[in-house]
Structure 1
Amino acid sequence: MAAAALCVLDGAMTGRRRRVIHCGTGTIGEHGLRSVIGHPDLELVGLLAHTPDKLGRDAGELVGLPPVGVQATDDLAGLLALDVDALGYFAPTMGREDEAVQQISAFLERGVNVSTLVLSGLVDPSSVNPSVVTTVERAAERGQASFFTTGIEPGFITTQFPITMLSICSNIESVLTTEYFNYGNYPDRRFIFDVMGFGKPADYVGAMFVPGGPVSYDTLWGAAVLWLTRQLGAEPERLQLQRDVWVTNEDFEMAAGVVPAGTVGAIRFQIQAIVDGAPLVVAEHVNFGHESAAPQWDRPQLGDNGVYRVIVRGKPDFDVQMVFDGRHAGALGGRLACANHVVNAIPAVCAARPGILSVVDLAPYTGRVATRGR
């Protein structure tokens, strides 16, 4: 039995390092690249980049590490010709989803397994565009390769975290996962004001709350909510959105710009999976413009910035809270968690069956003690 378990846990126990191509060096991808370089079970053999200023530069130097002998390239055909085990895909997909699907599918067809945080709808394939599912499934079948997306926020909070906690529970009545985040230092003006609706009148509906769009609540989080509902043995009737805002009575400044008095200074919303006419699984986001915004709203014991919480009503009831703290408090911890979840899954993805996978299809995986870089 012990020997069989070692086989399932893949090459980490046999000394074989998985050869990895990395794609994406943005705010999360850069942490993913560091994680690959520092992972003792992985070997970086290629770096796919899309911006001219990164081409030809050493992967290590791009993320503040010593050179590793791998240069960034936009030569997709050249990378596809390499002998590799896996692709870690971190490139953003907003406005280029078709290109991302094509790139990922090209690697799958070559037998390269993919671990990613994009195409998060594929957490629950029944909830997304069937053409995307068909393209990825066929590519995986042709290449006998595996595809795994962690999703976002930072991936595990609506999938792996609650599934693990729910293993100690029976007679489950409801599951609520919540992210509390202070966006005061978040610099993306378009996302903060136009997509979310900070600094807008209370009746403004940002792109995040218009269903079916590339950055809408159902696109970003709906699949994970539906997936978790089905893991509990229930069939969701529909997704339902609830949204609430807090209006500031004075001007205040965020990194993205000034929020005028009389406009939205905090936003909270829930994506609810309805079963038997009531919410069963709920993903909630409570977003503050500054630390004292919306003082009447519930805050967890651990604070209101970068806190993740799972509340379960069942046998037993429980309330689990987690915060990114110390050297990696707040947004940095979230970015590291997003990146590490994708990278640490790579050996398990390589060992899994072909096709589109969720976390329950993978052998358990964890981080490793770094031996090369950080």
Structure 2
Amino acid sequence: MTGPAVPLRVAVWTTGNVVRQAVRAIDARADLELVGAYAWSPDKAGVDVGRLCGLDRDLGVPATGDVDELLGRRPDVIVHSPLHVDVAELARLLRAGVDVVTTAELVTGTNLGPDALAELRAAAVEGGATLFGSGMNPGYAQLLAAVSAGISAGVEHVGVSESVDVSQFVGDANFEAMGWGRPRDDAGHAEDVEAGSAVFAEAVELLGRLLGVQLEDIRCEVTFAHATEDVHLPSMVIERDHVAGMDVVWTGHVVDGAGGDREVVAVRQRWLASTRIDPPWTVEHGYLVEVTGDPNLRLRLEIWPTEADLADLTVATMHSIGMRITALPVVNAIPAVHAAAPGIVTYADLPVITSPLRP
């Protein structure tokens, strides 16, 4: 008879909105032990992570702004959640022998370029560590789409759409590159959105890998909707005839048997900052998977607040739910990532990831 497994030692990188949710999830699991936190702000150094992350108690884990001190706490895994990828930062952690699960716009790493990708792979091999990136979308949404296709034969196309009202969140930092409120036909706007959403090219690549398809080409098409009147939002005013809706579609293509081009996967983001737009688009208020095969499939994922959240359903509450569904895919992947071979891994390399049942 064996004793209980030793919990994996976990540290978190920064104490922002995603990590606040990650810390709650880690604290609730017997197989994970929080041992450290890195904080950018000097005034957070030495403060207990429980207080920094809004828990009602101390966790006995002070934050630090010293990377060496953090590594000295011997974490097995770091939950890494800055907004953007810092290759040198990630490489340092991997070379130190620490596995990293990140929500920082990384799924396959291809979008970083060949040199950066090679540096991360080399660092992982040198340290015997593993790097995994996910979130709700990109990441978990593509896993959901691929699993959905598993009950259809002769699959020809798989698409997954994020179709949501973002009116309360257009001022968030992750939307900064999208150019909400720019005028109609503003030069270079579509190209800026393509560049700002390029991580979804990695989502297309991931979906192709999960379906066992080698994609020949990945493309992006951006379409805008414009406000039919001035729109007053918490973070900005979008003037009439300025951009208040976006449809951003990343597609993966193969060469068919006749030598022609065929789209086989698609990842779409339809974001509306207002319903007072032209064209009069609507949103699904969730995630939609569509599979063309035998049979055809359509799966809709809606996200509902808990009873506790419904009692205090504010914009802040909805925002925290969004951060929770970003954090949980990487937190739940920690045991599988730690058990994986060194290198950069995706859902295509791991067993199915899910949440443990509450004891």
Same fold (TM over 0.5): yes
Q: Show the counterpart of 2:246.
A: 267
CA pair 164-242 structure 1, distance change in 2 beyond 3 A: same
SS in 2 for 1:184: coil
For the pair 1:162 / 2:145, whether they are aligned, the reply is yes
Q: Show the counterpart of 1:153.
A: 137
- Counterpart residue identity of residue 161, structure 1: L
Q: How many Å apart are 1:340 and its aligned residue?
A: 0.8
Alignment of 1:351-362 (within 5 A): 351-362=339-350
State the percentage of identical aligned residues: 27
Q: Show the counterpart of 1:335.
A: 323
**18-27 or 181-190, which deviates more:** 181-190
Structure 1: distance between partners of 2:135 and 2:35 = 25
CA pair 108-151 structure 1, distance change in 2 beyond 3 A: same
- Counterpart residue identity of residue 300, structure 2: Q
For the pair 1:24 / 2:24, whether they are aligned, the reply is no
Q: 1:109 aligns with which of 80, 84, 95?
A: 95
Deviations 1:277-300 (A, max 9, x none): 232111111111125545743543
Q: 2:181 aligns with which of 174, 194, 199?
A: 199
Deviations 1:180-232 (A, max 9, x none): 1212111627765x62232222212576733884xx222x2101202322433
Q: 2:262 aligns with which of 272, 278, 290?
A: 278
SS in 2 for 1:326: coil
- Counterpart residue identity of residue 237, structure 1: E
Specify every segment of 5 or more residues in structure 2 that has no aligned partner in the other structure, as ranges.
Answer: 256-260, 310-316
**137-146 or 203-212, which deviates more:** 203-212
For the pair 1:210 / 2:192, whether they are aligned, the reply is yes
For the 8 Å contact 2:108–2:344, the answer to whether it is kept is no
CA pair 191-267 structure 1, distance change in 2 beyond 3 A: same
SS in 2 for 1:136: helix
- Counterpart residue identity of residue 217, structure 1: S
Deviations 1:33-87 (A, max 9, x none): 2222222211011101112232221000112221011111111011222222111
Q: 2:26 aligns with which of 13, 24, 36?
A: 36
Q: Show the counterpart of 2:313.
A: none
Alignment of 1:4-23 (within 5 A): 14-23=4-13
Q: 2:127 aligns with which of 123, 134, 143?
A: 143
Q: 1:178 aligns with which of 144, 153, 161?
A: 161
- Counterpart residue identity of residue 346, structure 2: S
CA pair 294-60 structure 1, distance change in 2 beyond 3 A: farther
> Which 4+ stretches in 1 moved above 6 angstroms?
none
Q: 1:238 aligns with which of 217, 221, 227?
A: 217
Structure 2: distance between partners of 1:157 and 1:177 = 7
For the 8 Å contact 2:272–2:283, the answer to whether it is kept is no
Deviations 1:233-291 (A, max 9, x none): 33323222222222222111112211111212211121111223232111111111125
For the pair 1:89 / 2:80, whether they are aligned, the reply is yes
**235-244 or 278-287, which deviates more:** 235-244
Q: Show the counterpart of 1:368.
A: 356
- Counterpart residue identity of residue 113, structure 1: D
- Counterpart residue identity of residue 170, structure 1: A
Q: How many Å apart are 1:165 and its aligned residue?
A: 1.2
Number of equivalent positions: 344
Specify every segment of 5 or more residues in structure 1 that has no aligned partner in the other structure, as ranges.
Answer: 4-10
- Counterpart residue identity of residue 297, structure 1: W
**62-71 or 25-34, which deviates more:** 25-34
Structure 1: distance between partners of 2:170 and 2:283 = 24
For the 8 Å contact 2:210–2:347, the answer to whether it is kept is no
Structure 2: distance between partners of 1:361 and 1:165 = 18
Q: Show the counterpart of 1:50.
A: 40
Q: Show the counterpart of 1:250.
A: 229
For the 8 Å contact 1:225–1:271, the answer to whether it is kept is yes
SS in 2 for 1:309: strand
Q: Show the counterpart of 1:71.
A: 62
Q: How many Å apart are 1:313 and its aligned residue?
A: 0.5
